[in-house]
Amino acid sequence: MLTADEYADGGDHIKRVLKEQEVPASFFLTGNFYRNPDFSTLIKSLKANGHYLGAHSDRHLLYADWEKRDSLLVTREEFTKDLLRNYQRMAEFGISEKDAPYFLPPYEWYNSQITEWTKEAGFHLVNFSPGTRSAADYTYPEMGDRHVSSEAIYQSIMTYEQKDEHGLNGFILLIHLGTDPRRTDKFYYQLDSLLTTLKQKGYSFVRIDELLE
């Protein structure tokens, strides 16, 4: 699955690779992204190509403290209003709540209370599978030790595939649709090679709704 809030620099490249590889994907986009007129053509083409388009919060809020995860930074009312606004933006592209029942929290950071509120709002919270560094493709050199190169990300995926007894079966891999311009080593340029290699290993790819349903 792929997420996006303010950046979409990889959009055209990723769309082309997925189409050429005949791979369906799942895109979780914020209301900020759906509202941006610069991204409307990309959103429409991703929908036309049969990809899953889902919610990632309206304003990309941080729900819980980074150091104390059980400490909420939003009220239930703030959370619910923000989530529903995301779906309102999606409706403008013909995406209903029924079409997109799975919700990926912003920053992929949440706690049990957020999970419960999501369920009570009528949606299902999902997250990426742990074990690889794919989600670190947003980092850039100025972050110091937190920065992870595209080569290191790629190798972490292949290492996990080899060492886990189930390989990547059922695995939910997350990358970003676009990243800060300070990251010039864009991991999405590795996507074509990654998909080709995994296909050669016998893997096939499905949307998040097909995987979980």
The 10s digit of each residue's pLDDT in 147-157 is 999 999 999 99
Residues 70-105: pLDDT tens digits?
Answer: 999 999 999 999 999 999 999 999 999 999 999 999
CATH number for position 202: 3.20.20.370
DSSP letter at 55? E
**Bridge partner residues of 150 (DSSP):** none
pTM over 0.85: yes
Position 213 pLDDT exceeds 90? no
How far does CA 50 lie from the centroid of its chain?
16
For residue 85, give the H/E element and its range.
helix 76-91
Which residues 6+ apart lie within 8 Å of 177 measured at CB?
A: 2, 3, 4, 7, 8, 10, 11, 14, 27, 29, 188
CA neighbor of 208 nearest in space, from 55, 8, 32: 55
In whole angstroms, what is the distance from residue 83 CA to residue 90 CA?
11
Q: Which two tokens stand for residue 85?
A: 């606004």
Q: 56 CB contacts (<8 Å, ≥6 apart)?
A: 3, 4, 5, 28, 29, 30, 33, 86, 103, 104, 105, 106
Average per-residue pLDDT for the chain: 97
Distance CA 150, CA 75 (A): 37
User: Residue 195 has which token pair?
Assistant: 């998909």
Please count the structural domains in the chain: 1
β strands within the chain, DSSP E: 2-4, 26-29, 52-55, 102-103, 124-125, 175-176
For tokens 């912003």, the residue is: 106
Residue 177 carries which DSSP code?
S
Domain hosting residue 13, numbered range: 2-212
Give the pLDDT mean for 192-211: 97
